[in-house]
Structure 1
Amino acid sequence: MDLVKNFFNGLRTALTTDELVELNIAYGATKEDIAALRSKYPNCPESLICLLENIDGTYWRKYGDNEIAVCILGSGVEEDRYPYYLMSTKQILESSKEEEDISYLLEYQDDEEAVDPKINLEGLLPGKYIHFSDCMNNGGTSRLYIDFNPSNEGVCGQIIRFLHDPDEYEVIANSFDEYLQNLIDCGFIYLENEEE
């Protein structure tokens, strides 16, 4: 898939030498894991499948005797410089099992912008979302989801970013393809000066 190939070409240019060495340890998901993901999420975007077929996660992921932790994703929103990990296929399946309640934001926050109107207020329901990425702060500060149960204003497959403190859920792209293209278009800005 050209989009994923372009993503990897840009990514390899943006990563440091040490990160590239670490990333080169990674390999793709097994056919069994990909089949399990497709079975659970028939709407799973082909671009995410292709990404996982090349690298089965970078989030404290063990490959043989080596463990890697390399941020390769970002939010793709404006000048956002916060990097994210790609979760492995098994991590995705495990972390997407539970309901993600968002109603507390409407009850306890005055900010009407806390939940994007494109997001269904039922929350993120099991089988209707894919949690595919956690931020460099191990997910405590921000997570990324593919949402298959949007509100009437949203679109199936939209990308949601959760940010903590103050908590908010925002749609940042209409599809995973658009999300990846945004990362390419922003020139992988989120990987610049990651140490800082």
Structure 2
Amino acid sequence: MDLINDFLKGLRSALSTDELKELNKACGATKEDIATLRAQYPNCPESLICLLENIDGTYWRKYGDNKIAVCILGSGVEEDTYPYYLLSTQQMLESSKEEEDISYLLEYQDDEEAVDPKINQEGLLPGKYLHFSDCMNNGGSSRLYIDFNPSDKGVSGQIIRFIHDPDEYEVVADSFDEYLQNLIDGGFIYLENEEG
């Protein structure tokens, strides 16, 4: 897939020598894990599948005797320099089992919307979203999701970014392909300030 080739080529150019050395220890997901992901998420974007076939996660992911922790993603929001890890296929499946409740934000929402109107007010329901990335702060501050159950203002497959303090759920791209293209077009700015 050309998009993934472009992404990986740009990523490898943007990473430091040490980060690239660490990333080179990674390998793709097993056929069994990909089959499980496809079975549980039939609408999973092909670009994410292709990325996982190349790199099955970078979030404290063990490959043989090596454990890697390399941020390779960003939020996709222009000017945002905060890097994110890619979760492994198994981490995605495990972390997407629970409901992500947003009702506490809707109750107190005023002029500034803490929940994007493109997001279903029922929240992120099990089987209806895929948590694929955590920020470099071990996921506590920000996470990324693919949303398969949007409101009537959104589109299935849209990318949601959760940010903590103040808590906010925002749609940052209409698809995973658009999200990756935003990272490429942004010149991997989110890797510039990361300390390896």
Aligned residues: CA RMSD: 1.0
Residue 54 of structure 1 pairs with residue 24 of structure 2: no
Pairwise CA distance, 1:109: 4.6
| TM-superposed deviation, 1:86 | 0.1
Q: Segments of 4+ in structure 1 off by > 6 A?
A: none
Where does residue 78 of structure 1 map in the other structure?
Answer: 78
> Counterpart of 2:144 in 1: which secondary structure?
strand
For 1:61, give the aligned amino acid: R
Q: How does 1:1-196 map to 2 (within 5 A)?
A: 1-110=1-110, 112-195=112-195
Deviation at 1:76, TM superposition (A): 1.1
Distance 1:162 1:80 in 2: 14
Question: What is the total number of aligned residue pairs between the two structures?
Answer: 196
- C-alpha separation in 1, matches of 2:64 and 2:43: 31
Greater CA deviation, 100-109 or 30-39? 100-109
Q: 1:111 to 1:100 in 2, by over 3 A?
A: farther
Contact 1:106–1:112 (CA under 8 A) maintained in structure 2: no
Q: Quick one: distance in 1 between partners of 2:93 and 2:108?
A: 30
Q: Which amino acid aligns with 1:150?
A: P
- Alpha carbons of structure 1 residues 111 and 83: separation in structure 2 relative to 1, 3 Å: farther
Gaps of at least 5 residues in structure 1 are none
| Aligned partner of residue 99 in structure 2, secondary structure | coil
Q: Hey, what's the Cα distance between the residues in 1 that align with 2:191 and 2:66? A: 23
Task: State the secondary structure of the residue aligned to 2:51.
Answer: helix
**Structure 2: any 5+ residue segments left out of the alignment?**
none
User: By how many angstroms is 1:111 displaced?
Assistant: 5.1
Q: Is the 8 A contact 1:74 1:190 kept in 2?
A: yes
Rounded Cα–Cα distance in structure 2 between residues aligned with 1:142 and 1:164: 6
- What is the CA-CA distance between 1:51 and the residue it aligns to? 0.3
Q: CA deviation at 1:195?
A: 2.2
Write the distance in 1 (CA, Å) between the matches of 2:108 and 2:138: 25
Moved more, 110-119 or 165-174: 110-119
